[in-house]
Structure 1
Amino acid sequence: MNRKADTATVSVGLGARAYDILIGPGLIVRAGAEIAARLPGTRAAVITDDNVASAHLPVLQESLGAVGIDSVTVQVRPGERSKSFETLQEAVDAILAARLERRDTIIALGGGVVGDLAGFVASIVRRGMNFVQVPTSLLAQVDSSVGGKTGINTAHGKNLVGAFHQPRLVLADTAALDTLPEREFRAGYAEVVKYGLINQPDFFAWLEQNWREVFSGGSARIEAIARSCRAKAETVERDERETGERALLNLGHTFGHALEAATGYDGARLVHGEGVAIGMALAHRFSARMNLASPDDAARVESHLRAVGLPTSPKDIAGDLPGADALLSYIAQDKKVSRGALTFILTRGIGQAFIAKDVPASEVHAFLKEFERP
């Protein structure tokens, strides 16, 4: 990780497909110059949502125009429901109508939903176009914009249709986070905590002490994002297509994705980072139940998540939820399941996550029964 003035650079080493993640304020203003330096002569399609467009699109368009990059814009509705076949087709049709070519660039300006959708578009139009991530949410900056996983949701579950397609550049403008609603920032922070809980107990302890400064901005925010991106980049370098240890990055996601599916991806009830927060708390609690970890570690994780205002139990989700039977069926459909065997990321303590295969469905079912409402 390198620093220049107030910008940190994390490199993702994938040989000929290596790319940089730039982290700091003012990067949307600099986006055109950074893209032109790496992709000279490109044209671009900016995929964004209605909310992000009002806050950041004019600045990005001006930045692209200043260096001679012609661009078109594809605007989608905010929220998980835009990760659909219908929206995918609309975006693909718009890009083909604009006559963009394979050497041209798809720019994702937005949070994780936009990044996942735009990346999938880039992976399939003309059998693969250049892709640049300009993530505007904390969750996207530390997780979904890095590593090349793209996709959309279906009625059967989240991210079940997609592709691996690495970006050419990631521009994480930390000043853009100042425009986020507090709930969205908190949800993204769950993914920051995740890196500490996987294998960096010192980072988790640092977050326990410094989370207020991360929320308020400045150098602590850049530090937290850079450390998160470095952790993910190192994992992606060793296991790009999630055949082994990259699965550790799914800590909290198997439970979390099941809860998202159970709420119908209704962002008013549960956003992705909140699902991950609950999932991480459940993973630690389930690990303690299985005598793999101390209950004190589970309590410590829950205490920190609650301190920052994140949910830690399915009971924290407003409205009705299906029972243990239905939640288990969502888990069984999740892409972390292999040949019907339940695979979870469990833990032996803070920073000691591991891949647990062949987890008994009966144990998971009994555990989920504890959270059923009367």
Structure 2
Amino acid sequence: MKLNVNLPQNPYDIIIEKGSLAKAGQWVKGLWQQQKIAIITDNRVGSLYAEKVKLSLEDAGFETVVFDFLEGEASKNLTTVNKAYEFLVKQGMTRSDGIIALGGGVVGDLAGFVASTYMRGIHFLQIPTSLTAQVDSSIGGKTGVNTPFAKNMVGTFTQPDGVLIDPDTLKTLGQRELIEGMGEVIKYGLIADTELWDKLDALDGSAASILDNSEMIIYRSCEVKRKVVVEDELDNGIRLYLNFGHTIGHAIEATAGYGKVMHGEAVAIGMVQMSRVAEKKGLMPEGITEKIAAMCAKFGLPTAYEPWDVEKMYQALKHDKKARGQMIKTVIVPQLGQAAINQISLQEMKEYLEK
């Protein structure tokens, strides 16, 4: 399966194919001239797949080196970025060389940021290995790292030259890591794709049901993301719809301590909390919160979090990239399959944090 992200300045393809990881070298050969390639990965994904990808690249004639870092959201920071820069310099990487991000969302965000800033930018490719990365973070060109103040506070918009998705990599994820990706998938159904929602509704919610339907889940999710990115590459309009559940979700991640609550888990909690208050205010249809909570729970996603510290989360929200002065753009779902922007004051946002 192939989807084209047909951006005017930098169009690229998303390839979704089981077993494609072993053929990564030929895929890259079709996109890049001969050059040195640095695979950026984490220690867990690296131990599983780095050698396979490296050998495939070398068979295709590319000189390849591997940089890995400690897995987890807590490593997605400027300290790790500096270590990567140092590695690239020592390897003699130049502006005509490239980076491949091999891993989940943390790897993709960090490797993309490194590629977009090293020597003012070198090209890169995404090979996402987690469900969250395959359906969301590897597509659209958002890169970034966390600071103590807020998640993804430092970043760039830089599109990859291509995305290669091998659904077979999902088989090596832990159950929690697989399930958390469904937070983003459920979001896509809610904001843009009622057919996807109905298909998810028909599944029993088990890990096996996710794996058995992985190609459908990935394809439909990527298609929603692709359409939105093409229409609004720089996140000024409808791309904000993709942030449903994220405003509160990011605040949960930041206040809990990066890595304690996984991204998809935080999104699920954020969607339920946002909907609960929006429904009470008459901004979302009656009963939708119950539907969202039931869908999340069926797949094993959390719908609440403790300790719920309103003041701490509010302080984190004030650093959110969607805040403009004393206003913040939030996302609501006025009906299943549709999203809308609801701009409110930061002060009113506090009401959306109240249990």
Q: Which TM-score band (shorter chain)?
A: over 0.9
**TM-score (normalizing by structure 2):** 0.96
- Aligned-residue Cα RMSD (Å) equals 1.6
1:230 to partner: Cα distance: 1.0
Q: 1:106 to 1:145 in 2, by over 3 A?
A: same
Tell me the distance in 1 between the aligned counterparts of 2:29 and 2:351: 55
The corresponding residue for 1:341 is: 327
Task: Encode CA deviations 1:323-351: one digit per residue, 9 max, x unaligned.
Answer: 21221111121111112212211121222
Which residue, out of 21, 36, 44, partners 1:28? 21
Among 87, 107, 113, the alignment partner of 2:100 is 107
Residue in structure 2 matching 1:225, options 218, 240, 259: 218
1:79 aligns to what? 72
> Superposition pairs for residues 149-298 of structure 1, below 5 Å?
149-210=142-203, 212=205, 215-216=208-209, 220-265=213-258, 267=259, 269-298=260-289
Q: How many residues align?
A: 355
Cα deviation digits, residues 111-146 of structure 1 (max 9, x gap): 000000000000011211111001000000000000
Residue type at the aligned position of 1:33: Q
Unmatched tracts of structure 2, length 5 or more: none
Select which of 30, 34, 53 maps to 1:37: 30
CA distance in 2, matches of 1:226, 1:86: 35
Residue 140 of structure 1 pairs with residue 140 of structure 2: no
Is the 1:342–1:361 Cα contact (8 Å) retained in structure 2? no
> Structure 1 221/340 Cα, relative in aligned 2: closer, same or farther at 3 Å?
same
1:19 aligns with 2:12: yes
- In 1, Cα distance between the equivalents of 2:84 and 2:277? 41
Give the secondary structure class of the aligned counterpart of 1:353: strand
**28-37 or 329-338: bigger deviation:** 329-338
What pairs with 1:291-306 in structure 2 (closer than 5 Å)? 291-306=282-297
Q: Tell me the CA shift for residue 214 of structure 1.
A: 7.7
- Asked if residue 327 in structure 1 is aligned to residue 327 in structure 2, the reply is no
Matched residue type, 2:315: S
Q: Are the equivalent residues in 1 in contact too, given 2:171–2:211 (CA < 8 A)?
A: no
Deviation at 1:212, TM superposition (A): 4.5
Identity %: 38
Q: Distance in 2 between matches of 1:218 and 1:327?
A: 34
Matched AA of 2:324: S
Task: Please give the TM-score of this superposition, normalised by the length of structure 1.
Answer: 0.91
Q: What code does the residue aligned with 1:308 have?
A: F
Which segments of 5 or more consecutive residues in structure 1 lack a partner in the other structure?
1-7
Q: CA deviation at 1:224?
A: 1.2
- Alignment partner of 2:22: what SS? coil
Q: Which runs of 4+ in 1 moved over 6 A?
A: none
